Amino acid sequence: MMAPVLILLTFLLLLGAAAEEIIGGHEVKLHSRPYMAFIEYVNDKGKNYNCGGFLVKDNFVLTAAHCMGSSMRVTLGAHNISFQEETQQTIPVAKAFPHPDYNFKDDSSDIMLLKLERRAKRTNAVRPLRLPRSNAHVKPGDVCYVAGWGMVDPNGKLLDTLQAVELTVQKDEECESRFPHRYNKATAICVGDPKINRPSAYGDSGGHIVCKNRAVGIVSLVDKNGSAPGTYTRVSSFLSWIQKMIKHS
């Protein structure tokens, strides 16, 4: 992978939003998140960008709809994305399925399935992440974690190794006031304690937030300065769509 690609950050331009840092995080144990996906693509201006994602089936990766682009490819089994590890599997994307209701103006329904050209081979470093149950809901105070490749502090350098940090689920009102007219509690989760002096943490756009070993959210909208809280797409609200797309694609 070329170094220029690794240093380019994926930014949500609306409201100056960005979702590319793991602030206050730590390097994870080698391949302890075997479902993590590193997604590379070319945007509509011809620039190389990257997002996070996670494997949900052997040939499907879930990510954010705002990560849509051309020449998409997914790397699984990675810990350090600066070089080709023996555990890595890089697979082109056969087709991208952004949610039909996705609206880039307000980031609603910010979820996308990527069908890979071939099935990933399951190994100790590559394995799908379970989706939440339809009746399972996170609540304020629940502690979850987010992982991705990026910064460990707002002014720090980029790191190539996978980082993770714990985050606390907040009341919907925190995000309703922070992102007026752009937060829908039926399809989003508010995450990150605003009372912490330093910014909490933010994973790559399209990455996951995991609670009780299940993917409950997808990184969607956070403040450009990395301050908490941020908005995560609520995965349980889209389970029927995910299952339908996997079955019929």
Residues annotated as catalytic (active site), given as ranges:
66, 110, 205
Phi first, then psi, for residue 201 (nearest 5°) are: -170, 150
Residue 155 amino acid letter? N
Q: Are 76 and 126 contacting, i.e. CB atoms less than 8 angstroms apart?
A: yes
Cβ neighbours, 10 Å, residue 143: 12
Q: Is residue 106 packed enough to be buried (19+ CB in 10 Å), middle (13-18) or exposed (0-12)?
A: middle
Would residue 43 be called left, alpha or beta, if left means φ above 0 and alpha means ψ between -120 and 50 degrees?
beta
For the chain, the 3-state helix, strand and coil shares in percent, each to the nearest 5, are 15, 35, 50
Six-digit token string for 137: 């809901």
